Structures are given as structure tokens and as C-alpha cells.
Amino acid sequence: MRKLDNNELNRLSIPEFKKAEKIPVVVVLDNVRSLNNIGSVFRTADAFLVDRILLCGITATPPHKDIHKTALGATESVDWKYYPETGSAIEELKEDDFYIMAVEQTEHSVSLDRFRVKRDVKYAFIFGHEIRGVSQEIVDMSDASLDIPQFGTKHSLNISVCAGMVIWEVFRQLRL
């Protein structure tokens, strides 16, 4: 078995990525504090053709060396926009007919393994602060919540891992 060289992977150029058909998904980062997590979400969004990322509240924006460290250039390919208040981003998405899903453990959350993507729906997935999660105000503005089943001692997953799992599952259902 031989490891493939990067030029054998047939990846899109940035101009090709910009023109490529995206999955109908917007990622919303609600007060995410870790620059490495932000960069990782950009990189995952690039890998699975996410439409765009909305950076809200204390979430840092590119350019920043610590975001770049994990994004590895994905801040150039994936469209993004900054909102001082997450609520404003959610209101704008609702006006554009997005189905808003807080990725949070709530009393009526849908488990990721039971979640079925509807092809005619545009989704916005909100990922929250590393300690506090998605704020209750934003959960209240959401149409539903989604959680990832866990079986160990910890209460949550790292946000970049969580985002990767959700984005992959949506991509898998839409494209594979």
C-alpha cells in the first residue's frame, strides 16, 4: 500500500471550490473561544462543501495565526461573516427559510443517529461555547436541537469534533 501524494488527491482549487455546488448547510459558531476550534471548523467546512460559516459574539475572525494554524487555508475557500450578536444571525437565517438546529443537549433533542436530512430543507447548525454550550436564548430561537449520543464520563465533545461529526453525517446523507 502506497500513501498518495497531495497532487493525486484531485482536490479543488480555491476558485473551483467557490464555484462548486455546496450542501445547504450554514454553520453558526455561538461565542466559541478557541481559535484552534474555529480553524478546525473551517477546515471541516471546506472538506464537505459547507455553504458558509457565521462567526458570532466572542468568536474570533480571520485572519489570525492561531485560526490559520488549524484551518490551513480554509478561511480563504469557505465564505464567512461576523455578527456581534448570535441572535441577529439566527433572525437573518430564519428570514432566508433556514431550519435552525442548536447542537445541544436539551429535553427534546434529536439524536444524531436518528436525524434524517430532508433534501428540500436548508439547515443552520449552531455550535456553542466550549464550556457553556449554545446559550439558552439561542436554543429558544432554534427550531430543534440535535445531540450526539455519548457513553463515557464527560458531558460533551470538543466543538470541532462535534462539528465534524454533524457536518459529515449531513454530507453523507445528502451526497453519498
pLDDT the model gives residue 167: 98
Instruction: Go through 149-175 and write b for each residue having 16 or more CB atoms within 10 A of its CB, e for each that does not.
Output: eeeeeeebeebbebbbebbebbbeebe
SS3 29: strand
pTM of the model: 0.96
pLDDT profile of the chain (176 residues), mean per 10: 93 96 98 98 98 98 96 97 98 98 97 97 97 97 97 95 98 95
Contact 55, 82 (CB under 8 A): yes
Q: Which fold has domain 21-149+156-175?
A: Alpha/beta knot (3.40.1280)
pLDDT the model gives residue 27: 99
pLDDT digits (tens, 9 = 90+) for 16-58: 999 999 999 999 999 999 999 999 999 999 999 999 999 999 9
pLDDT the model gives residue 176: 85
